Amino acid sequence: MIRPVKLSDANQIAAIYNHYVAQTVITFEEDLVSAEGYCERIQSVLDAGMPWLVSETADEVLGYAYAGPWRKRAAYRFTVESAVYVSHQQINRGTGSALYAALLDELTELGMHCVLGSIALPNDASVRLHERFGFEKVAHHREVGRKFDQWIDVGFWQLQLPREAKP
């Protein structure tokens, strides 16, 4: 089941995310994020009028997806940056795809025009996920992050949503 996030999901969301913080270069954060920290992040996204969704079964959060404003200036108001994270035990089980499909539907309903996904490279699974939904690579920044004593590239994938943005 995919549903809107609740603040009470923060503990499980933090557990999913913190695996990637501690074990991978998928996120450039280096410090674990508390459930309280995630409550603040969730509330910030919701306060911006943006969607945050979770996939759950039997009260267990399997993954989450959200979008937030890409930049603060008014002209960027129809462009968002998306994020999808699934429990490392849920990789390649369709959870990420289901979440992304639902997120893109919500963004379309909100009148968003452009979705950007940033991907630490290499990350073949995330590239496949984005391209499955029609995202196209539009930028590649070399060695812009450093984690675990290695330089990491970041690519940007972009999707124009099917509707025109609401004026």
pLDDT at 27 over 70: yes
From residue 114, alpha-carbon distances to 46, 82, 155 in Å are: 19, 10, 16
Left, alpha or beta for 131 (phi > 0: left; psi -120 to 50: alpha)? alpha
Residue 18 lies in a domain: yes
pLDDT at 166 over 70: no
Residue with tokens 């675990």: 148
Beta bridge partners of 63: 55, 86
- Domain containing 128: what range? 2-160
**CA pair distance 69, 79, nearest whole angstrom:** 7
Beta bridge partners of 54: 3, 64
Nearest to 33 by CA among 67, 10, 64, 66: 10
Element (H, E) at 57: strand 52-57
Residue 90 lies in a domain: yes
Round to the nearest angstrom and report the end-to-end CA distance of the chain: 33
Predicted local distance difference test score (pLDDT) of residue 89: 85
Two tokens, residue 95? 């959870």
Percent of the chain with pLDDT over 90: 92
Give the count of domains, the chain.
Answer: 1
Residue 34 lies in a domain: yes
Predicted local distance difference test score (pLDDT) of residue 82: 98
Predicted local distance difference test score (pLDDT) of residue 87: 95
CATH number assigned to the domain comprising residue 97? 3.40.630.30
pLDDT at 80 over 90: yes
Residue 165 lies in a domain: no
Predicted local distance difference test score (pLDDT) of residue 133: 96
Residue 167 lies in a domain: no
* pTM for this predicted structure: 0.93
- pLDDT tens digit sequence for 99-152: 999 999 999 999 999 999 999 999 999 999 999 999 999 999 999 999 999 999
Q: What is the mean pLDDT of residues 86-102?
A: 91
Predicted local distance difference test score (pLDDT) of residue 164: 54
Residue 22 lies in a domain: yes
Predicted local distance difference test score (pLDDT) of residue 43: 97
Predicted local distance difference test score (pLDDT) of residue 91: 79
pLDDT band at 163; cut points 50, 70, 90: low
Residue 166 lies in a domain: no
